[in-house]
Amino acid sequence: MKRLTLLLAAIPVSLANLGAHCDGSPRFKPYQQGQAVCEVPGFTPQCPSGTRLEVRRSGSRECEIACRDASRRYHGPYGRYYRYSYGASLIEIGAFQLGRRHGTFRTTHVPRPRSGGVRLVNETSYRAGKLHGTLRQIRGGMLISLSTYRHGLLHGRYATWQHPSGQLTYSHHYRDGHLHGPWIQRRGHVLIKGAYRDGLPHGHFIVVSASGKQVGTFDFEDGRGAWKRFLLDGTVIESTEMRFGMKHGAYRTYHPDGSLSQLGQYHRNSADGLWCTYNQRGAVMYSRPMRGGGGTNNPDDVRRCEQLRGQQRQAQPATAGQQQQQQQQQQQQRPAASSSRGGSSS
């Protein structure tokens, strides 16, 4: 099944230029009604005027039936059947217009008999050879991917769901090929919700646990901000500064107790400067300059890491448990303060 998945990922690319090399050996031959030499299951072509139905067969594995005009271009209904060496098969049915894909193409991937695999169906829309319209991927009768294109570019909603649970994994919105609008993505046990504007993260992002509890927030303005990861108790375990939608600036990771674990820098998505790793007691465990060589754990770099840790020591957001303890302490102090005021007034 893993091999089939890899093949499916490559199929849209391999089929996109099918019309450009279909005249290779063996060549197309005129199709005769009732001819048993080639058959595509579920395909009954009716060619438009000015074209003729032709067939191409490659051994017992591949069969292709198409309507072609006087210029040898695909024009009209098209069907193809291919059987893989391990027993699975592919059936593709659609139509061409003046040599370019036009309309809905339906590609069905049939698993090997008695393999226990599920049927995967791709429904893809084209206009004048470019993706245009709604694209669906259906696995075992369940929708697992939905996207919308306009003139070859993503435009509208793009969403995926896990099979067979049906759990949402992505829900992004695009405008002319760029992220624009509501943005939802599942990462592990949390769901991140926010928005993009003109291809850049923008506005308020929240992180929600599987139970629906909000465990963290962060903000962006036109791609500038700090992307954060949280534990379920609200502890920040990773913070990456972003600029223009790229990693650019300070990078920090934290131990579960909130102490600094790693400190580094990014410059336009590339690691830059000195990177330092610390244990939970704050001692330098590893140091490495990302440019200029120098090796690891150089004494000067270790001292620099110690200095950086002191400079970067900032108030870390309290975890939910720490916040609860602080609230309890404040509530205990309030009665004592009020009683002392009452005693002095009397």
Whether the predicted model's global pTM rises above the 0.85 cut: no
Predicted pLDDT of residue 194: 97
pLDDT tier at 248, thresholds 50, 70, 90: very high
Q: For the chain, how long is the longest CA-to-CA vector?
A: 112
Above pLDDT 90, what percent of the chain?
Answer: 62
pLDDT tens digits for 106-146? Answer: 999 999 888 788 899 999 999 999 999 999 999 999 999 99
Residue 35 reports pLDDT greater than 80: no
Residues 51-79, mean pLDDT to the nearest whole number: 92
Supply the DSSP symbol for 44.
-
Tell me the average pLDDT across 27-33: 52
3-state class (DSSP) for residue 4? helix
- CA-CA distance, 97 to 128, in Å (whole number)? 7
105-108 long-range contacts (CB < 8 A, ≥24 apart) are 107/11, 107/15
- Give the mean pLDDT of 3-22: 36
Give φ, ψ of 320 to 5 degrees.
-60, -40
Choices 2.60.120.10, 1.10.645.10, 1.10.150.250, 2.20.110.10: CATH for 235-314: 2.20.110.10
Cβ within 8 Å of residue 151, ≥6 positions away = 127, 130, 132
- Of 255, 238, 198, the closest CA to residue 221 belongs to 198
Closest CA to 77 of 40, 45, 124: 45
| Pairing outcome for strands 260-267 and 270-278 | antiparallel
Max mean pLDDT among 227-236, 266-275, 328-337 falls in 266-275
